[in-house]
Amino acid sequence: MNAMIVRRVIPPVLLGLAALVLWEALVIVADIQPYLLPAPTAIGAQLAMVAPALLSAMAATGSNALIGLVAGAAIAVTFALLASRIPAIDHLIAPIVAAIAVVPIVALAPVLTSMFGATSESPRRVVVAIVVFVPVFVNALRGLRQVRPVHRDLMRSYAATNGQLTRHVTLPGALPFVMTGLNVASSLAVISAIVAEYFGGLQNGLGSRITSAAANSAYPRAWAYVVGAIVLGLIFYGITLAIEAATNRRR
Amino acid sequence: MTNATTASVPAVDVRGVTKTFPSRRGDDVTALLDVSLSVHAGEFVSLIGPSGCGKSTLLRIIADLDSPTSGEVSVFGKSASGARRDQDYGIAFQSAGLLPWRTVAANIELPLQLHGMTRPARRARVSELVELVGLSSFASSYPDQLSGGMQQRVAIARALAESPRLLLMDEPFGALDEMTREYMQSELVRIADESAAAVVFVTHSIPEAVFLSNRVVVMSPRPGRIQTIVDVDLGSNRGERLREDAHFFEKVTIVREALHGTPAPHSASRGVDHR
């Protein structure tokens, strides 16, 4: 077990460190200006300096991403359930989903910001929910349609109600598919929460800190916030991966 | 096993059932043509025939999973759908059809849970059932941790959960290897005896049908109809030795020849079928 961890964890960590050393050396030797590419040590120094602000920015963006993710996923699963049960809704919703799938979030964010007002977190959460909706919906619907005929026959032989079929067979069977959708959606949630901040509104999140630092020529600081964004994305991805593994162990 | 005289209402009564499946090109497929069959309470009846003879369709019609095009089916004197709603039968399919996210105990518990039995009562019944099928030490295992034979035993326990008076089985041992299969057959004879349920058992194995049944219904395909019904009655004491008994082979030969459509001259010199 320990040997396996050593073999699987040490090489990528070493590779990352080597890349950082190479990066530092390149910046010094080639005398690269900070606005092009700051040195890792400069970014590290900024990280330490802005740590409290960085953490609060991560919390602000992270909570927007989380609320949007949960809301978008819940709506997506609900609509997928309806579409899998009622053909009319399925036909109605298919073109709407196609339309949502191609909505450019860059176009929607400023409109929503002026709609909700500049002091509201809501436009970011709505943007995240819209982005999250499509992958969760598509995967959930696919999972809900995977009910094995033998399970359907079995539940019919038990004279089970539609609700019982959904609760005991359809939903648990669709869970791995929903998790696959959430996996994709979790990364998209963080990205869209950050991008949504680029279009004005509150200045408390990672996206607005990155733009304001860059606007003030504080390039290492901008990069420090970028590092924060990467960490936040990894946290979201890791948590959904862990939830997926926990729900998958039992099948 | 043969307490057929105790109940006057047959467990299953099929009268003139025809089933046609419409096909896209207009030429309908007749799966069953004018099939009539009566199964007494407590009786073990096998349906045997080549694929396409409609034996599974007949079972599904009895279970009210399909409806006949014409003809009537009654189960314990009720309509097939009434019997299904009243949970008068338990059913097992060729694939065990266990829910992979539920443990062995939770799978067996499913019908009890759906029909509102209290948790303590469920727990007591499930522990009886896992013992009945010899899986007490696997109650908390998941289906993917079990062999095919064990999964099938779970499915049988689940079918027996509500002590049905009728057990419908659609090739439940079809996917098992020969050793496991013979073991499961002996187990099923024991379980059917203990529960005193009538059994309708679909199979395409001749020795299996003869070993298990009071009567073997031989069916022929296109259109599916009953060719003949062979009375087996090898007695209730069916140990492993029965499989090597001359009487057993004689019945196997009769069923086999009925299946192949040749008359069955009763001569001891004829080769017996060991399959």
Across the interface, which of A158, A172, A251 has its CB nearest the CB of B114? A158
Percent of chain B with pLDDT over 90: 6
CB contact under 8 A, A251 and B100: yes
Q: Do B115 and A158 touch (CB under 8 A)?
A: yes
Taking a C-beta distance cutoff of 8 angstroms, is the pair A79, A137 a contact?
A: yes
Question: From A156, which residue of chain B is nearest by alpha-carbon distance?
Answer: B65
- For CA atoms B249, B255, B259, B263, the dihedral sign is positive
Give yes or no for a contact between B42 and B3, defined as CB atoms under 8 angstroms apart. yes
B168: nearest CA in chain A?
Answer: A157
- CA atoms B162, B163, B164, B166: torsion sign: positive
B244 CA: distance to closest CA in chain A (Å): 36
Mean per-residue pLDDT over chain B, rounded = 82
Residue B110: Cβ-neighbour burial (10 angstroms; 0-12, 13-18, 19+): buried
pLDDT value, residue A74: 94
Residues of A with CB under 8 A from a CB of B: 148, 150-151, 153-154, 156-160, 164, 168-169, 172-173, 175, 250-251
Of B61-65, B108-112, B257-261, the least confident: B257-261
Q: Do A157 and B99 touch (CB under 8 A)?
A: no
Q: Which residues of B touch A159 (CB under 8 A)?
A: 84-85, 87
What does the alpha-carbon distance between residue A138 and residue A79 come to, in Å, rounded to a whole number? 10
* Sequence letter at residue A65: A
- Min CA distance, B151 vs chain A (Å)? 14
- Residue B166: which of B200, B141, B143, B142 has the closest Cα? B200
Per DSSP, helices labelled H in A50-121 are 51-85, 87-101, 105-116
CA-nearest residue to A248 within chain B is B101
DSSP string, A88-108: HHHHHHHHHHHHHHT--HHHH
Work out the percent of chain A whose per-residue pLDDT is above 70.
98
Instruction: Find tokens 């609060």 and name the residue.
Output: A56
Candidate from A150, A164, A250 with C-beta closest to B95: A150
Q: What is the pLDDT of residue B267?
A: 43
B76: left (phi over 0), alpha (psi -120 to 50) or beta: left
**Considering only alpha carbons, which residue of chain A is nearest residue B63?**
A157
Is the pLDDT assigned to residue B72 strictly greater than 80? yes
Question: Which of A150, A172, A251 faces B97 most closely, judged by CB atoms?
Answer: A150
CA–CA separation, B64 and A157 (whole Å)? 8
Percent of chain A with pLDDT over 90: 19
Confidence at residue A214, expressed as pLDDT on a 0 to 100 scale: 83
* A113 and A64 Cβ atoms separated by less than 8 Å: no
Lowest mean pLDDT among A109-118, A204-213, A219-228: A109-118
Residue B122: is its pLDDT beyond 50? yes
Place B2 in a pLDDT band, splitting at 50, 70 and 90: very low
Contacts 24+ apart (CB under 8 A), B238-243: B238/B186, B238/B189, B238/B211, B239/B186, B240/B182, B240/B186, B242/B211, B243/B182, B243/B207, B243/B211
What is the distance in angstroms between the Cα of B169 and the nearest Cα belonging to chain A? 12
The angle formed by the CA atoms of residues B9, B11 and B17, to the nearest 5 degrees, is 105
pLDDT tens, position by position, A10-55: 888 899 899 999 988 888 888 888 778 888 888 888 888 888 888 8
* Percent share of chain B, pLDDT over 70: 89
Contacts of B80-84 spanning 24+ positions with Cβ under 8 A: B83/B166, B84/A156, B84/A157, B84/A159
Q: Quick check: B103 and B49 in contact, CB under 8 A?
A: no
Higher pLDDT, A7 or B274: A7
Contact A153/B93, CB-based, under 8 Å?
A: yes
Integer Cα distance of A127 and A69 in angstroms = 10
Under 8 Å CB-to-CB from A100, ≥6 apart: which residues?
A130, A133, A134
pLDDT at position A75, please?
Answer: 94
The residues with which B79 forms a beta bridge, in sequence order, are B74
Residues of chain A contacting residue B93, judged by C-beta atoms under 8 Å apart? 150, 153-154
Q: Which residue of A has its CA nearest to B80?
A: A157
What DSSP element (H or E) covers B39? strand B29-39
Residue A70: pLDDT band with limits 50, 70, 90:
very high
Selection from B273, B175, B195, B193 nearest residue B239 by Cα: B193
A158: number of Cβ within 10 Å: 25
Over 60: is that where the pLDDT of A251 sits?
no
Helix, strand, coil percentages for chain A (3-state, nearest 5): 85, 0, 15
Compute CA distances A186 → A205, B40, B193, whole Å: 18, 60, 56
Contact B210, B232 (CB under 8 A): yes
Q: What is the mean pLDDT of residues B149-169?
A: 88
What would the pLDDT profile of B6-33 be if each residue is shown by its tens digit?
447 888 888 888 888 887 777 778 888 8
Q: Find chain A residues with C-beta within 8 A of B99's C-beta.
A: 151, 168-169, 172
Distance CA A47, CA A25 (A): 20
Q: Is the pLDDT of residue B158 over 50?
A: yes
Dihedral in degrees, nearest 10, Cα atoms B195, B201, B206, B210: 30
Asked if B111 lies within 8 A of A150 by C-beta distance, the reply is no
For B26: left if phi > 0, alpha if psi spans -120 to 50, otherwise beta; the answer is left
Shortest CA gap A160–chain B (Å): 7
Q: What is the mean pLDDT of chain A?
A: 86
Count how many pairs of residues, chain A against chain B, have C-beta atoms within 8 Å.
49
Q: What is the pLDDT of residues B76-109, one digit of tens each?
A: 888 888 888 888 888 998 888 899 889 999 999 9
Nearest 5°: the CA angle A161, B162, B84 is: 45
Once rounded to an integer, what is the mean pLDDT over residues A224-244? Answer: 90
Asked if A157 and B97 come within 8 Å (Cβ–Cβ), the reply is: no
Do B258 and B67 form a contact (C-beta atoms < 8 A)?
Answer: no
pTM: 0.74
Q: Report whether pLDDT(B275) > 60.
A: no
Mutate to test the interface with A, among B114, B142, B171, B200 (most CBs of A within 10 A): B114
pLDDT of B235 higher than 80: no
pLDDT at position B44 over 60: yes
**What pLDDT is recorded for position A87?**
83
Q: Is B178 exposed, middle or buried (0-12, 13-18, 19+ CB in 10 A)?
A: exposed
- The token pair at B162 is 């509500």
**pLDDT at residue number B193:** 82
Alpha helices in B63-212 (DSSP H): 80-85, 104-114, 119-132, 148-160, 178-195, 206-212
Split at pLDDT 50, 70, 90, the class of A78 is very high
Contact B84 A159 (CB under 8 A): yes
Q: State the Cα–Cα distance between residues B120 and B125, nearest whole angstrom.
A: 9
- Model confidence pLDDT, tens digit, residues A106-159: 778 888 888 887 778 888 889 899 989 999 999 999 998 888 889 989 998 898
Task: Tell me whether residues A169 and B115 touch, CB distance under 8 A.
Answer: no
